[in-house]
Amino acid sequence: MNREDLLQPTIAAQGRATAIYSAQATFFTAFFGGPVAAIIMGVLNSRRVGQLKRDALVYASGLLFFAGLTYIYFAAPAFIQDMGIPESGDGNVRTYRYISRALALLIWIAHYFLLRSQYKTMKLLETDPPSPWIAALSAIGLSLVATTALVVTFQ
């Protein structure tokens, strides 16, 4: 080891940070796309970092919770009405959309905390995130299809 190696910053020796989609991009995708879009963006980021196996349980749990919520809301409306939430099981799905949106944001929070160190490293090394447009629009489109399929299945 020579003197120049000793004068190198420690974090630079690890190389560049793996570029993942920004927190803002994943937030807006979750907000506009719903829980499935939030999970898709989370899976894409976890795969980019190489920790998909570690994070898969969180994403699978979110997906199962969303499917269960959809089932309970549309297939068992009496259960929801007993809880005091109106308008379940009929054509008005405003309450379902609000609950679904809140779940998407909770999934985004879980995703952020799973990859928090990666976001900090990207910020510290000033790594530019990749363009999220194709991934985000694809995630939102797949989310709309998946959510519609679930709702139609359970109605």
Prediction pTM value? 0.83
Is residue 115 a part of any domain in this protein? yes
Is residue 142 a part of any domain in this protein? yes
Is residue 11 a part of any domain in this protein? no
Could you list the pLDDT tens digit for every one of the 155 residues in the chain?
Answer: 566 666 666 555 455 568 999 999 999 999 999 999 999 999 999 999 999 999 999 999 999 999 998 888 887 777 766 766 665 555 557 788 888 999 999 999 999 999 999 999 999 988 899 999 999 999 999 999 999 999 888 87
Cα gap 76→79, rounded to integer Å: 6
Tell me, letter by letter, the H, E, C secondary structure of 44-87.
HHHHHHCCHHHHHHHHHHHHHHHHHHHHHHHHCHHHHHHCCCCC
> In the prediction, which pLDDT does 13 show?
46
> In the prediction, which pLDDT does 34 show?
95
Residue 97 sits in which domain range? 22-123+131-154
Is residue 83 a part of any domain in this protein? yes
Is residue 145 a part of any domain in this protein? yes
Residue type, 65: F
State how far Cα 123 lies from the chain centre.
20
Q: How many domains does the chain have?
A: 1
Q: Would you mind telling me the total number of residues written for the chain in this entry?
A: 155
Residue type, 137: L
Is residue 1 a part of any domain in this protein? no
Question: How many other CB atoms are there within 10 angstroms of residue 37's CB atom?
Answer: 30
Cα gap 121→118, rounded to integer Å: 5
Joined tokens for residue 57: 């349980």
Nearest to 107 by CA among 64, 148, 71, 150: 64
